[in-house]
Amino acid sequence: MQSRVEVLKHKSKILKNNPLKDPNIRDVFIYLPASYGKSNKKFPVVYLIAGFTGFGAMNMNVSGYSENIQQRLDRLIKTKKIKEMIVVMPDCFTKYGGSQYVNSAATGRYEDYIIREIVPYIDSNFRTIPKPGSRCIIGKSSGGYGAMWLAMRYPNIFGLMVTHSGDSAFEYCYMKDFPDFVVQIQRYGKGHRALSNFIKTQINFKQPKPKDFFNILNIIGMSACYSPNPKRKEYNFDLPFDIYTAEIIPKIWNRWLKFDPVRLVEKYKRNLKKLKLIFVDCGTRDEFNLQAGARMFSDKLRKNGIKYFHQEFNDGHMNIQYRYDESFSRISKHFSYK
């Protein structure tokens, strides 16, 4: 028998009536290994969460010169680099590009969506091993951030965590884009009205997108997750800097820093010590300076007596799915299969 990928439509109660009016019926992609249909055997589960502007279905993209996730897992299993496992790929996309897998009054309760709905849903509908030591959370970029965030907070759910180029050390990965933003947003008007105009006119399917689209959207997305403000009249979040001068607003910036994994190690060190695997991976030429965050996060782990693996490789941030060969191998070795 061959492996298969099932696509299930999950109707979420938690995402119903979310602030952005995004759909609450989401496609969940589930990779089932070849032997899944042959016996009553139970399998460990990897939750593979997407980066900013991504969602589960994108892992299935077909390319002439690279593998999609099913092809990669099939190869790794066939060559005995990994044991068989279930891989779940949820959809946490939002109008603003992503959720960071946190609960936000500006985007919705995506942390609760994963923990309270998706994990129980998978355990109820598939033959899983419903234990922390048999569940891993893994992601790249914003997905890597989500993996750190969720594993730190829920070691009773996820006993293994892998972060590829995950957002961390916020002053290095986000702050450098603030001065560009205040210049770029002026194309759409003045002050806060400009940002409101961008949201109304640019976040849609029209092509081509302007060159500044991603940088503006990224800051919108992060602001919505880290500093939501439903009471604001122009849009439902606060920027951490002055929209004209780019001067940091300490009160709001400090709200962002409360989500920074580097700054959360001390707070969650007891939880982190419970994890069977922490694998931190990042390229030395990451365009968002995330190698700095990976090093700082790892150093914090070391100083707090928390076991981890930290690897670097000679590459940037984009098109690094080949690193899954390394991470899935480590996951397989650390999983509990009973």
pLDDT tens for residues 188-238?
Answer: 999 999 999 999 999 999 999 999 999 999 999 999 999 999 999 899 999
Q: 4-169+260-334 has which CATH code?
A: 3.40.50.1820
- Rounded to whole angstroms, the Cα distance separating 145 from 233 reads 29
Encoded tokens for 180: 């560009």
Answer yes or no: are the C-beta atoms of 214 and 173 closer than 8 Å.
Answer: no
- Rounded to whole angstroms, the Cα distance separating 4 from 70 reads 8
Report the pLDDT averaged over residues 289-312. Answer: 98
- Rounded to whole angstroms, the Cα distance separating 32 from 37 reads 9
Note the Cα 170 to chain centre separation in Å. Answer: 15
Domain ranges of the chain: 4-169+260-334, 172-257
> pLDDT category, 62, cuts 50, 70, 90?
confident
pLDDT tens for residues 249-292?
Answer: 999 999 999 999 999 999 999 999 999 999 999 999 999 999 99
